[in-house]
Amino acid sequence: MTTTRETTATKRRRFRQLFPERSDFAHVRRHWHTDLLAGLTVAVVALPLALGFGIASGLGAFAGLITSIIAGVLAALLGGSNLQVSGPTGTMAVVLVPLAATHSHTGVMLVGIMAGVMLIALAVGGAGRYARYVPVPVVEGFTAGVAIVIAVQQLPPSLGLPTQNAHLLTGAWESLRTFAAAPDWAPVAVAGGVVAAILLGSRLHSQIPTPLLAVVAATAAVWFAELDVAVIGSLPRTIPAPEAGFLDFASEAPELVAAAIAICALCALESLLSATVADNMTVDQHHNPDRELFGQGVANLVTPFFGGMPSSGALARTAVNVRSGAAGRLASLTHALVLALMMLALAPLVAHVPLAALAGVLIATSIRMIEVGSMLALARSTRADAAVMWLTLAATVLFNLVWAVAVGIALAGLLALGRISRSVSVEEEPIDHGDHHDEEAALLHEHIVAYRLEGPLFFAAAHRFLLQLLDVADVRVVVLRMSRVSTMDASGAMVLADAVKRLEHRGIAVYLSGLEPVHAKPLEALGVLEPLWQQGRLFEHTSEAIAAARRRLKADGLLEQLEAEAGGLRGEAEAERP
């Protein structure tokens, strides 16, 4: 009976954790101005994407726009990421094309509701935590691949041509051939100017909303110069009341289950990877995967009643949001509200924004999405991690998101299993109780903690190691005994580097002992060892590291004592003054 009650209480606590908390909006007071500007910038970028993805899915431009508004608000309020921007995506639009052709708009909306229910069930069941097992090389390859896809997709509008419906690379080649036969340099100049302005502005002053200013300047230039450049055009100007007439087609639900499962899986995968990429683009942001699934589920459950289509976290808009200086949920909320305002009041003005200018914004965003330093570090760390990263990138460009991540995870898993099978061993080790005398033991109990890392430090165990290590409190020195680490991949090295950085940020000195040369290579590529070496915190034996830590604590204690004595003398001198 007690166990049943505890299980029920645990489930209730987990369910309550899926809902918003006051801390979710802690950034509003400090960063409201940058969030408003970021949201406005994202809205300008998201507008043509929403219209285009709606048309591409076969549901119409209005379906894409209303999805960006409704799903954008709900996912921003209920989701697990402070930076995620949600709405229709290109991957989702491709999946919906055959569904819309066979089951019409009503069937797609019914599938959206079913997928929303499935996403909520996954969130309640805690399935979001499995996203942490996606290795770093897969995320890096996926991010770079999506950046390339975004840039290539924007090639036709930047050349003043309509979007091609063919395969990505085939459509890009056809666009280049068409442009070469009859070149029009006006849209190229507009897109190129926006790209140059954004990249240059980001280097000069990161707080200025360069994308927004570049789009406004491009729009003004096209308007006053009367250039023949394609613009967004007229927009719908009403938000409909919720309507549930499509539920009359509930008899079709059994034959739509497979499609709903596919939409659910795609939404979960795309949203969680997008949130992970957003975290990697920042320093202090970390999303809650279960809450993200819950927010996306509610968004997909509600949006169809307004005539919308299935949605997910949108990587391109999320990247624009982060790069525009967003710090909290107010930015993604502002994006959705500005889209609604554009539809209701500013449609005549927004209609004149050149498509080439928006293409330039996305091309610049794709360039800034690629973290060259991280990719080079992965390429230099191990051959296996480099292979996973490049294969994921290629699959993202040549195939689609689902295939890319599946291939990357499968290859990373096979390589990890190979490393584990070669490195696992069982050896008896005598326990030496005489490492430290009583004085050292007391000092260690008060100020120093030592961790002995055993076995493989790779992507499946790295996050658990990080959480355990960062749970340390009330200490001033952490000694990491690395002699029993059997293998370390790029994910483990990155998590270790992140742990060292966070501990140092908290004022806790980190010492390493017993690091094998084969494990030093990925840490060297990430720049972890050089600072520790310069500060004298790398040792061959743990006893040497502990002795150095004791000397540091004694020196710090002496310095604090001298400062206290100096403060006391100053106080006495001031007291003796007449």
- 453-492, pLDDT tens digit by residue? 777 666 555 555 655 666 666 678 888 888 877 777 777 7
Q: What is the pLDDT of residues 411-459, one digit of tens each?
A: 777 776 666 545 443 333 333 444 445 555 555 555 777 777 777 666 5
Q: How many residues does the chain have?
A: 578
What is the rounded CA–CA span in Å between residue 16 and residue 294?
11
pTM for the structure as a whole: 0.65
Average pLDDT over residues 143-149: 81
Residue 390: other Cβ atoms inside 10 A: 19
- Model confidence at 226, pLDDT cuts 50, 70, 90, reads confident
Structure confidence at residue 506 (pLDDT):
80
Q: Which of 287-296, 388-397, 429-438, 542-551 has the lowest mean pLDDT?
A: 429-438
501's CB contacts (< 8 A; 6+ apart) are none
Tokens of 40: 């406005």
Asked whether the predicted pLDDT for residue 106 surpasses 80, the reply is: yes
Where do the H-state alpha helices sit in 432-489? 438-447, 459-470
Percent of the chain with pLDDT over 90: 12
* Nearest C-alpha neighbor of 151 from the set 90, 197, 102, 101: 90
Asked whether 361 and 198 are in contact (CB, 8 A), the reply is: yes
Over residues 226-249, mean pLDDT? 78
Q: How far apart are CA 161 and CA 174, in angstroms?
A: 10
Nearest to 147 by CA among 333, 285, 281: 281
Q: Are the C-beta atoms of 143 and 370 separated by less than 8 Å?
A: yes
Exposed, middle or buried by CB within 10 Å (0-12, 13-18, 19+), for 422? Answer: exposed
Interval 318-364: pLDDT, tens: 988 888 888 889 999 999 999 998 888 877 777 788 888 888 887 88
Which has more confidence, 140 or 561?
Answer: 140
Q: In this structure, which amino acid lies at residue 47?
A: L
Q: Give the up-direction half-sphere exposure of residue 106: CA atoms within 13 A in the CB hemisphere.
A: 11
Backbone angles phi, psi at 84, to 5 degrees: -65, 135
Q: What phi, psi does 452 have (nearest 5°)?
A: -105, 115
Residues with Cβ within 8 Å of 562's Cβ and at least 6 positions away in sequence, in order, are none
d(CA 415, CA 411): 6
Q: For the chain, what is the mean pLDDT?
A: 78
pLDDT digits (tens, 9 = 90+) for 119-141: 999 998 888 777 666 777 887 88
Q: What element of type H or E holds 25?
A: none
Q: Is 479 helix (H, G, I), strand (E, B) or coil?
A: strand
What is the average pLDDT across 489-504?
80
The DSSP line for 300-332 is HHHGGGGT----EE-HHHHHHHHHTT--SHHHH
Q: Residue 162 in 3-state DSSP?
A: coil
Closest CA to 339 of 36, 34, 44, 32: 44
> Above 60 in pLDDT, residue 61?
yes
Cβ 270 vs Cβ 313: under 8 Å: yes
Instruction: Check residue 432 and give its pLDDT.
Output: 41
Token pair in block for residue 529? 């060892």
Closest by Cα among 137, 139, 132 to 466: 132
Helices (H), ranges, 238-314: 253-280, 289-302
Bridge partners for 487 per DSSP:
456
Task: Determine the Cα–Cα distance for residues 142 and 404; give it in Å rounded to an integer.
Answer: 7
Q: What are phi and psi of 432, to 5 degrees?
A: -100, 110
Residues contacting 515, CB < 8 A, separation 6+? 482, 483, 523, 529, 538
Which structure tokens are listed for 439?
């004085």
Binned at pLDDT 50, 70 and 90, residue 199 comes out as confident
Q: In which element (H, E) is residue 179 found?
A: helix 168-181
Return the structure tokens found at 329. Answer: 């949920």
Domains in the chain, start-ordered, CATH in brackets? Answer: 32-145+253-351+371-421 (no CATH), 436-576 (3.30.750.24)
Residue 313 buriedness (CB in 10 A; 0-12 / 13-18 / 19+)? buried
Q: What angle, rounded to 10 degrees, do the helices at 372-381 and 517-525 form?
A: 170
Buried b (16+ CB within 10 A) or exposed e, 69-102: bbbbbbbbbbbbbbbbbbbbbbbbbebbeebbee
Q: At what angle do helices 490-505 and 517-525 cross, to 10 degrees?
A: 70
Per-residue model confidence (pLDDT) at position 424: 40
Task: Read off φ and ψ for residue 390, nearest 5 degrees.
Answer: -70, -35
Is-contact 214 357, C-beta < 8 A? yes
Residue 450, helix vs strand vs coil = strand
What is the C-alpha separation between 499 and 374, in angstroms, rounded? Answer: 17
